[in-house]
Structure 1
Amino acid sequence: MKTGTIAALSAVASAATAVAVTLVVQEYRHDRAVRELKRSIPDVPTPQVPQDVGQAAVAAGAALAARRHDEAGIEVDAGEEYPAELVAEQLARTAAFFGDEGLAAIRAASVVVVGCGGVGSWVATMLARNGVGRVRLIDFDQVTLSSLNRHAAATVADVGTPKVAALARYLGRVAPFVRIESRNTLWTLAEAEELLLEGGRPDFVVDAIDNIETKVDLLEFCVRHDLRVVSSMGAACKADVTRINIGDISATQEDGLARATRRRLKLRGITSGVPVVFSSEKPGPDKPTLLPLADEVFAAGKVDELSVMPDFRVRILPVLGTMPGVFGLAAATYVLTTLAGMPVEYIEQKARVKVYDAVLHALSGQSMRLTGSQQLPFDANDITYLVEEVFRGKSVVSGVAANSRVALSQWDPARPLALDNVVLLTKDEAKAHERDVLVPKRAPGDVYGAAVLSTVAARQAEEACYRAFR
C-alpha cells in the first residue's frame, strides 16, 4: 500500500475518533449538567391550608398518592377513600356549567389520550381537572429539557423520565378521584386493540400524535371501529390564536400536518367524519419554518438513525410554548362538551373579508332586481354576523359548508328583507330560490320540505336571541 494512501486512511481514522470522543464528552457534560440542575431544585413543602375542607382534601389526596408500578407503567387508582363531598366541591364549577346530568356523564366516561407531549398533556390535565372518570395515557417518549416550554405538567426533575409517568404523577395529585392509567409504549396498529380497547371501549380517543403515519393509522382505526375521536393538527410554527379552528378534516386549510393527514386518509377511503383542531394561519417569509440539519450531520451519513424511532422526524420544529396548550385546551373542550351532551356547532373558517364583501354586493343586487333599490337594512358587520354566527357558514338547504360559494338571500317574499328574513345558501341554491320563490312570490313552504323549514325557523329564533345582546 502506498505511503500516501496509508496517511490518508490514518487521517480519516483520526478524524472519526476525534468526532466520536467529542460526542461522548458533550453527552457526558450534558448529563452532568442535568443532574446538577435537578439536585439544585429545593424540596417543596406540603402547603398548609387553613380551611377544614381544604385540609381534608390535602389529607385525602395524600392518602391516595401511593402508586403501583407494573410493566404497563404507572396507574393511579381512584378509590372510595376520597370523600364524595370533596369531589363535589372540587367539581362544583363544572357541575354548574353542565348540570348534574352532564357532570354525571363526564364522571362515567373513559378517554384515551394518545401522545402526551405539548398538546396531549394539556388535554389530559383538563379532562382530569373536570372529572373524567378514567383517563388512559399512551406515549413512548421521555421528558426532555426542550419540551418544558410547552408541557402542562413536567418539571426539570422529570427530565429523562417517561412523559406518561410524569403526567400520571401530576394528575394523581390534582384529581385523586380520577383513575389514571399510563402505557409507556409507542401506539402501533398491531397493538391498537390492546391499547385502546382493553378494559372496555373508551367514550373518546384524543389523537395528539405528531408522526404522520402513526396518526393516520390511529384515525383510521377509530373510524373503522366507530370510536369517537378528535385529532390535533400542527401547532408548530404558529402564533395567531385567532386562527385556531375546530372542524371536519375536510375543511382544514393552511396546515401542513392536516394536509398530509387528509391526503393519506383519502387513500384509505376516508374523506370526512374526523373532527380536528387546526390553525388556518398562513405561512410566510417572516414566519418560523422547519429548522435545517447542520451540514456536519448530513456529512456523517445515515441521518434517519438520528430519529427517536424508525420513520419519525429528525428535523426540529420551532414551537411557541403557548400554542400546543391552546390546541390541547380546544380538544379537551370538544371532548367535555360532547360527553356532557352540550356539543358546540363550531364555525369553520374565519375572517373571510372578501367573501363577506361579495355577499353584501350580491344581496344588494338581488334587492335591486326585486324592488328596484339597492338599499339594504344592514351593513358589512351584519353580513359577518349572519354568515358565521347565525348560519355557521352552512347552507340551510343542503347543510354543506358554503366556503367561497356563499350567498345570502331574502327568505319569504311576503315579508321585507331583515335580519330575521334572510337565509344562507350556496350561490346555485340562491339563484334557484330567487327563481322559484321570490320572483313568483310563493311561500317557502310550497317549495321546501319540513326539514329545511325547521332549520330556518331554528336559525331565526336564535338570531332573535342573539340580537338582544348585539
Structure 2
Amino acid sequence: MDQKISTNTLLVTTAVAASLISIGATLGVQTLLQREKRKQLEEEVEEQTRGNRSATSSPPAEVELNEFGIPIVKADAAKKPLFDTASSAGGNAGGYDEELIAEQLARNRAFLGEAGLAKVRNTFVVIVGAGGVGSWAATMLVRSGVRKIKIIDFDQVTLSSLNRHATATLEDVGTPKVVAMKKFLEKVAPWCEIEPVVALWDQRKPGFDSLLLDSDGSKPDWVIDAIDNIDTKVDLLAYCYKELKVQVISAMGAGCKSDPTRVNISDISLSLEDPLARATRRKLKQKGVVTGIPVVFSTEKPSPEKANLLPISDEVVKESVEDIDQLAVLEDFRVRILPVLGPLPAIFGLTIATHILTMTGGYPGVTDTTQGGYSLAGKRRNKLYDYALQSLAGQFARLRWQKQTVPVDLNDVGYLVEEIFRGKSAISGDSNRLCLTLWTKPEGEVAVMDNLVVLTKAEQKIHEDRILLGGESHEAVYSAETIEVVNKRLAEQRYYSQYR
C-alpha cells in the first residue's frame, strides 16, 4: 500500500514537472519570436528613416514626450479627411460616403427603424434663438441626421454664455453665435446643410417671413422657438401656427430653474406653474390661438431661497425708465440678467430635439390623446385628482353647501396634491385614497383654495365629523406637529399662488 502511494506521488510529481518544462519552453519560444519580430520591425523603421534622411537632408524631428513619457502624436496636416468634400460621389450634398453616414447613424436606425430614420434624414428644421436651448436642440438634431437646419439669431458669443452653450468655445467669443455653431457642427456631420442667419426675427420688419423658408422657398418641417423675449415669442408662435401652418415647438422659461425632474412637455393649453407659459398662453389667446402648440416647461416653483432676477442698482436706475431701456441690447429686449444653471437650458433643448425626432420618425408612445396629444405621463395622475375633487364636492353636499361652488378644478387639485402636499396626507403621510377637505369651516360659507388640505378618505371623515360638523378645535384633534405641517403647507400655497 505504501509502495503504491509512493509510486503515484512520483508519477504526479513527474507530470507536473513535465508540464512546467513544457510551459517554460513555450514561453521561451514565444519570447524569442517576439524579439525577432521586434528586431525586424526596428530594422524596417531604421531603413525607412535612412531613406527619409537622404530624401530631405534635414535631421529627424525630436520626439516630444508628455509627463508620462508617452510620445505626443501631432496632427498631420496632410492627412486625408474622412469625408472628401471635393468629391461628388455618394449622391448627397458634399459627396460623402453613404456607408460612413449609415455607420454614424446606426444607433438611430436601430431605434427609429429604416423608415423612421429616412424621414429624419429628409427633415428641415428652423431654429430661432441660438442660446442655451437652441444650441443644444440644434446639436442633437444635426447629430441625429436631419437634412438641414437654419439657425436664426442676432447675438454674439460672450464669456457669460459659455456656461450653457452647446458648441461655443473661448475662441468664438465676439463672433455671431450662429457662425460659431456652423463651424462646430459641420465637423460633426458634414453632410448636414447648416445655414446660419445673423438676424433678429421681427414680424414688424420687411422680409420676416422669408427668414423661415428654405432657399427654394419651401416651408420647414419644424420651427423651434428658443426666444426669451415674450412679444417676439408670441408673434413667432402665432405666425407659424396660423399663417405659415407648420409644426412649431416652444421653450418656456429655463432661467432660475434647477430641478430636472420638473421638466415637462405638453400642449400650451396644459402647461402648468410656469410664469412665462402663463403669459404666453394669455397673449396667444388674444391672437386666437388656444391650443395646438407643444411647449417644454418646468413646474418648479420659485422661492426666496432660490435664484431670482439680479437687481438693478440705484446708480443704474437713476431717475427714469428710459435710462434703463437704453441698457438693453435691442429694443424691447430684457435688461436684467437672468440667473441660469447651464444644464437646465440644455435639458430643454434636448427635450425639444427628442420630441421632433420621435414625432418625425413615427416612434410610438410619444403622444397621448387624453392630454391634448402630448403626454404628461407620470406627472398627472388624473384618476387620483378626479377622486380627490369628487370627495371635496361630496363634502360640500354633506355640509349642505349645494349652492357653494367648489373653488378648484382638476389642474388645481393636481397642483395641491403633488406640489403643496407632496402626494401624501398631511396627517399620516399615507399616499393611498387621497382626498381634499376644508381645514376650517369658512366664515360666511365662502370656500377658498388656501383652506384645502390633502388627507386620506378615512382621515377626511374624521376631520369632517369632529371639526367641520362637531365644532372641535384642531388642537383637540391633532398634534402640534401635524398642525405645524399643515400651516406650513398652506403658507406655501399662499406664496406660490402669485406665480400661478
Deviation (angstroms), 1:188: 1.3
Superposed CA offset, 1:375-418 (max 9, x none)? xxxxxxxxxxxxxxxxxxxxxxxxxx964679xxxxxxxxxxxx
Structure 2 gaps of 5+ residues are: 1-71, 368-373, 395-408, 415-500
Q: Match of 1:157?
A: 171
> What RMSD, in angstroms, separates the aligned Cα atoms of the two structures?
3.0
Q: Which residue identity lines up with residue 213 of structure 2 in the other structure? A: L
Matches within 5 A, 1:156-235: 156-189=170-203, 190=205, 191-199=207-215, 200-224=218-242, 225-235=244-254
Is structure 2 residue 387 aligned with structure 1 residue 359?
A: yes
Check whether the contact 1:112–1:137 (CA below 8 A) recurs between aligned residues: yes
Q: Match of 1:326?
A: 347
Q: Which residue identity lines up with residue 221 of structure 2 in the other structure? A: D
How far apart, CA to CA, are the structure 2 residues paired with 1:87 and 1:215?
35
Deviation (angstroms), 1:129: 0.1
Structure 1 residues 46, 258: closer, same or farther in 2, change over 3 A? farther
Deviation (angstroms), 1:80: 3.9
Superposed CA offset, 1:220-261 (max 9, x none)? 111112110100000000011111100011111221211111
Q: Match of 1:113?
A: 127
Q: Any idea what SS the aligned residue of 1:245 has?
A: strand
Is structure 2 residue 303 aligned with structure 1 residue 303?
A: no
Deviation (angstroms), 1:187: 0.7
Q: Match of 1:103?
A: 117
Superposed CA offset, 1:85-107 (max 9, x none)? 11001000001100110111011
How far apart, CA to CA, are the structure 1 residues paired with 2:311 and 2:86?
44
Is structure 2 residue 77 aligned with structure 1 residue 59?
A: no
Q: Any idea what SS the aligned residue of 2:209 has?
A: helix
* Residue of 356, 361, 364 corresponding to 1:335: 356
Check whether the contact 2:222–2:247 (CA below 8 A) recurs between aligned residues: yes
**TM-score scaled to structure 2, two decimals?**
0.57
Check whether the contact 2:136–2:166 (CA below 8 A) recurs between aligned residues: yes
How far apart, CA to CA, are the structure 2 residues paired with 1:352 and 1:323?
22
How far apart, CA to CA, are the structure 1 residues paired with 2:359 and 2:377?
21
Moved more, 347-356 or 158-167: 347-356
How far apart, CA to CA, are the structure 1 residues paired with 2:189 and 2:211?
23
* Residue of 249, 256, 261 corresponding to 2:268: 249
Structure 1 residues 222, 59: closer, same or farther in 2, change over 3 A? same
Q: Match of 1:348?
A: 376
Deviation (angstroms), 1:47: 6.3
Deviation (angstroms), 1:299: 1.6
Q: Which residue identity lines up with residue 261 of structure 2 in the other structure? A: T
Check whether the contact 1:243–1:279 (CA below 8 A) recurs between aligned residues: yes
Check whether the contact 2:86–2:94 (CA below 8 A) recurs between aligned residues: no
How far apart, CA to CA, are the structure 1 residues paired with 2:147 and 2:382?
46
How far apart, CA to CA, are the structure 1 residues paired with 2:74 and 2:290?
51
Superposed CA offset, 1:114-158 (max 9, x none)? 100000000000000000001101000000000000000000110
* Residue of 268, 275, 278 corresponding to 2:294: 275
Question: What is the aligned residue count?
Answer: 309
Structure 1 residues 104, 358: closer, same or farther in 2, change over 3 A? closer
Check whether the contact 2:389–2:410 (CA below 8 A) recurs between aligned residues: no
Structure 1 gaps of 5+ residues are: 1-43, 49-54, 67-77, 367-400, 407-470
> What's the % identity of the aligned pairs?
51
How far apart, CA to CA, are the structure 2 residues paired with 1:267 and 1:232?
20
Structure 1 residues 108, 198: closer, same or farther in 2, change over 3 A? closer
Which structure's CA Rg is the greater one?
Answer: 2
Deviation (angstroms), 1:347: 3.3
